Amino acid sequence: MKRNKVEICGVNTSQLPVLTNAQMRELFEQLRAGDLSAREKLVNGNLRLVLSVIQRFNNRGEYVDDLFQVGCIGLMKAIDNFDLNQNVRFSTYAVPMIVGEIRRYLRDNNPIRVSRSLRDIAYKALQVRDMLASKNLREPSIVEIANEMNLPKEEVVFALDAIQDPVSMFEPIYHDGGDPIYVMDQIHDEREKDSAWVEGIALREAMRKLSDREKKILAKRFYEGKTQMEVADEIGISQAQVSRLEKAAIHRMYKHIQS
């Protein structure tokens, strides 16, 4: 998504409203009482959340407008199913639903397919890999996996390479009548955890609650690595004031994230 683009699907993203926690709760209570106008306000007040989510998929070659519309569907589902009685922030609940809606869209609209026989071999190889790793407490080699399957290692390598295609990551490997399990659901990646990603969104939301001076102090302290004395000299206040403002800003952010 281009940074200088301010309109998506006719929506001016620079003018999107931001709802406070109190406003969100009040609107949810109105919606549960049957006020459909509250639903529209909740959607408009959380479109920034959809924008944050679709940035995760901006390297897929998809039109940003399409991803935004699909993300809005996930947002509306989250609004319709959110339970105020649960001790969880709405953004924490909504992000996985928005992500899931976009993943389904990408899976269903991708024209490339891998042959059934290759998928079967690859999925079996993944199962054998997990079994050997659990048994031997280490990652097995391709040769060990191939021997366990009684197949040539070249055939196993070819099958595993085939499902490395981004499309095959969305192929179902198990279905019990409910939501299917896809290959991508079985791959563990420490670099991209949804929980850490949600926390990052919550952190950015908390930063918006700070004053410009507080943002500047935190940026210089924790992004530029400057000391409180250096920050004080640049801003033109005392080191004690920098320390007080820094602690107050961090405390307010913590309360916002925990609320």
Q: What residues does each domain of the chain span? A: 7-108, 120-186, 209-258
Residue 150: pLDDT band (50, 70, 90) is very high
**120-186 and 209-258 in the same fold:** yes
What's the CATH number for 209-258? 1.10.10
Over residues 119-136, the mean pLDDT reads: 86
Residue 82: pLDDT band (50, 70, 90) is confident
What is the per-residue pLDDT for 65?
82
Residue 9: pLDDT band (50, 70, 90) is low
Domain 7-108 listed as CATH 1.10.3720.10: no
Whether pLDDT at 246 is above 50: yes
Helix (H, G, I), strand (E, B) or coil at 175: coil
User: Are the C-beta atoms of residues 246 and 217 closer than 8 Å to each other?
Assistant: yes
Whether pLDDT at 189 is above 70: no
Mean of all residue pLDDT scores within the chain: 77
What is the per-residue pLDDT for 4?
43
Residue 7: pLDDT band (50, 70, 90) is low
**Angle, helix 64-81 to helix 90-108, in steps of 10 degrees:** 130
- Cα separation, 228 vs 247, in Å, equals 12
Whether pLDDT at 119 is above 80: no
Which residue is listed with tokens 């019990």? 176
In the chain, % of residues over pLDDT 90? 5
Q: Which residues pair with 7 in a beta bridge?
A: 12
Identify the CATH assignment for 120-186 out of 1.10.20.10, 1.10.10.10, 1.10.3720.10, 3.30.420.40.
1.10.10.10
108 CB-contact burial (10 Å; exposed 0-12 / middle 13-18 / buried 19+): exposed
What is the per-residue pLDDT for 5?
47
Residue 253: pLDDT band (50, 70, 90) is confident
Whether pLDDT at 149 is above 90: yes
- Residue 149 identity: M
What is the per-residue pLDDT for 6?
52
Whether pLDDT at 191 is above 60: no
